[in-house]
Amino acid sequence: MTALTLTQLPVPASGTHGQRIARAVASPQSATDASAAVVRSWARCLGEYGLDPERRPVPPVLSASELRERGERFGDLADCARLEMTTLYQQLADPDMAVMLTDADGVVMHLVAADPFAREIAPEGLRVGAIWSEREAGTNGMGTCLAEAGAVAIRQHEHFFQRYTGLTCSAAPIFDENGVLAAVLDVTSRSPLLWQQHSPVLVGMSCRHIENRLFDARFRHAYPIRFHSQPELVYTAGEGKLAVDADGVVLAANRSALLQLGFPSMQGLRGKRIDTLFMSSLDELVARSARQSFHPVPVYLAQASDRFFMVA
């Protein structure tokens, strides 16, 4: 079977690529072939960055020394992501696909792909060290995920630069223990069906696993508390995680914990004692967990009737 180049796949709608983008930005209500997030991205590319969709730029690439310095700061997150990226690549089983991890500036820090595909896409800027922010690469999975601070799917014709309209991307953010967007996990493929398949769900689950791995690595010396309103979800990617000190004071929480406890950010939760949040102290939780062989035990909120299942 003959492999298609990145720009051989059909682009829907009439008129040139640039004309469709200009019309959609001028009249977002009429943009029926692009998501709202994509139209917002197109508007940023035209209005804020002054980009031309008909140009064929390649994202800039950091020097070896710049990449090495950035990698030292990014090291623990990359370490936590490598296994999950390989697992995700194997789950999707697409030879014309790359799984990429960027830092908060859109710099590709790690890439998993079959060697033939990796060699083919490298000249297009899909390589370690390339900067895929919207400002440099227009609308794309990695850059638009950073700009929107949320999961995005960018179909072929939704890329800002026509050069990349043969690709489909699915990307999701990775947040650190302070709730700061620290990285993006992206799957880029030639398949136009990528965004309709399971990849957005799998990408999101992989991000939760990476966040939890990072949380455990950065708070390995703290007391870990796992919980969920459904006991079967403890010890899964969806569990809430708290790190507390020996006095039961909260040091950090993952996104699931914040959501379940009703805190919009770590600012409101950090420094609170466990016994002011739940009807139990840390010592009691540890003792009860040990008696139950570290299976989840029921615990109620201190100021409400909500029940969680917890292991400490």
Q: Which of 164, 183, 216 is the last residue of a domain?
A: 216
Note whether 88 and 201 are same-domain residues: yes
- Please enumerate in sequence order all residues whose Cβ is within 8 A of that of 148, keeping only pairs 6 or more positions apart, or say none: 37, 40, 41
Note whether 102 and 234 are same-domain residues: no
pLDDT of res. 6? 41
Note whether 200 and 253 are same-domain residues: no
- Specify the CATH number for the domain of residue 168: 3.30.450.40
Note whether 185 and 231 are same-domain residues: no
Q: Which of 185, 216, 247 is the last residue of a domain?
A: 216
Note whether 269 and 181 are same-domain residues: no
Q: Cβ distance 234 to 227 under 8 Å?
A: yes
- Please enumerate in sequence order all residues whose Cβ is within 8 A of that of 39, keeping only pairs 6 or more positions apart, or say none: 24, 25, 28, 31
Q: Each residue's pLDDT tens digit in the chain (312 positions)?
A: 334 344 443 344 446 889 999 999 999 888 778 899 999 999 999 999 999 998 888 999 999 999 999 999 998 999 999 999 999 999 998 899 999 999 999 999 999 999 999 999 999 999 999 999 999 999 999 999 999 999 999 999 999 999 999 999 999 999 998 889 999 999 999 877 665 666 889 999 999 999 999 999 999 999 999 999 999 999 999 999 999 999 999 999 999 999 999 999 999 999 999 999 999 999 999 999 999 999 999 999 998 889 999 999
- Specify the CATH number for the domain of residue 282: 3.30.450
pLDDT of res. 195? 57
Q: Which two tokens stand for residue 56?
A: 């064929």
Rounded to 5 degrees, φ, ψ at 249 are: -90, 130
Inside any domain, residue 104: yes
Inside any domain, residue 273: yes
Q: Which of 170, 199, 216 is the last residue of a domain?
A: 216
Which position has the token pair 């789950």?
91
Q: Cβ distance 159 to 139 under 8 Å?
A: yes
Q: In whole angstroms, what is the distance from residue 277 CA to residue 271 CA? A: 11
Cα 164–Cα 50–Cα 28 angle in degrees, nearest 5: 75
Q: In whole angstroms, what is the distance from residue 151 CA to residue 174 CA? A: 10
Q: Is 293 left (phi over 0), alpha (psi -120 to 50) or beta?
A: left
Give residue 65's domain range: 60-216
Note whether 248 and 143 are same-domain residues: no
Q: What domain count does the chain have?
A: 2
Note whether 72 and 199 are same-domain residues: yes
Q: How many residues are present in the chain?
A: 312
**Element (DSSP H or E) covering residue 168:** strand 168-175
Inside any domain, residue 255: yes
Note whether 176 and 106 are same-domain residues: yes
Inside any domain, residue 31: no
Note whether 268 and 185 are same-domain residues: no
Note whether 149 and 294 are same-domain residues: no
CA torsion sign for 51, 57, 58, 60 is negative
Q: Which two tokens stand for residue 246?
A: 């020996």
pLDDT of res. 15? 66
Inside any domain, residue 7: no
Note whether 115 and 250 are same-domain residues: no
Single pTM value for the model: 0.88
Inside any domain, residue 120: yes
